[in-house]
A and B are shown apart, each in its own frame.
Chain A
Amino acid sequence: MVIFSVYVVNKAGGLIYQYDNYVPRAEVEKTFSYPLDLVLKHHDEKVVVSFGQRDGIRVGHAVLSINGVDVVGKNTSEGKDILEYLKDPSNYPVSIRFGRARLSSNEKLMLASMFHSLFAIGSQLSPEAGSSGIEMLETDVFKLHCFQTLTGIKFIVLADPRQSGIDALLRKIYEIYSDFALKNPFYSLEMPIRCELFDQNLKSALEVAEKAGNFGAGS
């Protein structure tokens, strides 16, 4: 029962805080000989598997490292294009590590803004009057909970679907935000939160929530 990450979005939709508590990395490293039986393609400045799923290497997984050396975007660490490198039989046998690509901070910013808009559309398309935006979004591997304060700040928590007590956790994070970010005289509203006490208290609140499985009221 895990809490994966926490995002805080300001009222304009910009990401002001992000914390990854637990990032499960399912990575697979294999040695391949020429010719490569996976079909790779460029996608979003990365090289991803588009066909040939096998042995834990799924479609959508990105190339993370070649021969133990991490890749840089579409190129190897030496600056050679990965697809060209893999077309050359003299480079084989080659050991490639595949896995889910980590989100860059730019991508996190974009996703936070995307959610900000989706939240508003969820409220607009409501078949009932007086609906809030999206408060909980469920998939088969995670649940996203969102709490919007009266001032328009959104606290977003991604957790395991079976984790309970997230509502109380969201209120607790709001409390921590008002205590350690808002009361900090050096913090400007709507700006990225860079307050050490906020980080520390957030981490301990997450630990309590995960251990208890159910966040108790009033601590």
Chain B
Amino acid sequence: MTRRSTPSSEMVANRTTPPLEPSLSIARERAGTGETQMTVHNLYIFDRNGNCLYYNEWNRKKQAGISKDEEYKLMYGMLFSIRSFVSKMSPLDMKEGFLSFQTSRYRLHYYETPSGLKFVMNTDLSVSNARETLQHIYSNLYVELIVKNPVCSSAPSLDSEVFSSRLDAFIRALPYYSPRAA
């Protein structure tokens, strides 16, 4: 099963796209029939110091009730505490550590690169594993468009229009993304 052609397919032209897992293709069918509301709510990218480098939302229904800056700090603080909590609680040595958590309404997926960059994505409950998606965002979007950009690299601010538009297109092209009816 191939992805619909979108701007994001250009940049993966030189890489072999991994075949969609069976769960994702089933997910796409279900999303197509309108049975389940599958969606991505929002995405945060934090650097190793806790600064929020990027934030975007697609289907957010409820704001946190605090300013955006405070929300970024709270999110980062929560993730930092969860990581420390998990490393202490864990009965065995961990390799990858904290992966995701879920509440009654949403699921938060987490991916951290060895350089301390943190990708956080909130989706609805039907998405069980978005780790590959986040890894793809890191290696094919962030590394390609930000790290390799001589203008962006010196001060890692994600002020890149190309990055924002490619990322937006990529998220919208995900099999589990479907815009909610208003």
Contacts and interface: CB of A to CB of B under 8 A. Distances in A.
B98 A137 contact: yes
A67 B102 CA distance: 45
Interface of A: 4-5, 22-24, 26, 58, 60, 100, 103, 107, 111, 114-115, 117-118, 121-142, 144, 158
B78 A126 contact: no
Contacts of A100: 91-93
Looking at A5, A60, A117, A127, the one whose CB has the most chain B CB atoms below 10 A away is: A127
Given A125-B71, A127-B106, A127-B122, A141 B101 contact: no
A5 B74 CA distance: 29
B23 interface: no
Looking at A23, A60, A130, A140, the one whose CB has the most chain B CB atoms below 10 A away is: A140
A25 B87 CA distance: 15
B96 A122 contact: no
B81 A114 contact: yes
Nearest to B41: A127
Interface stretch (B59-67, B139-147, B154-162, B164-172): B59-67
Interface in B83-142: 85-106, 108, 122, 124
Interface in B63-77: 64-65, 71, 74-75
B92 A133 contact: no
A24 B101 contact: no
B82 interface: yes
Contacts of B106: 126-128, 131
Contacts of B105: 126, 128-132
B57 interface: yes
A123 to B, nearest CB: 7
A138 B96 CA distance: 11
Given A122-B101, A126-B103, A139-B96, 6 more contacts: A118-B82, A127-B122, A130-B105, A131-B104, A139-B97, A140-B99
Contacts of B108: 122
Contacts of A139: 86, 90, 94, 96-99
Given A127-B42, A140-B97, A134 B102 contact: yes
Interface of B: 41-42, 57, 59-62, 64-65, 71, 74-75, 78, 81-82, 85-106, 108, 122, 124
Contact of A122 (B42, B57, B78, B95): B78
A77 B155 CA distance: 52
B64 A124 contact: yes
A141 B92 contact: yes
Nearest to B71: A125
Contacts of A136: 101-102
A120 to B, nearest CB: 10
A142 B61 contact: no
Contacts of A26: 92-93
Contacts of B42: 127
18 contacts: A4-B91, A60-B93, A100-B91, A103-B88, A111-B89, A118-B78, A118-B81, A118-B85, A128-B106, A131-B103, A131-B106, A132-B105, A135-B104, A136-B102, A138-B101, A139-B99, A140-B95, A141-B93
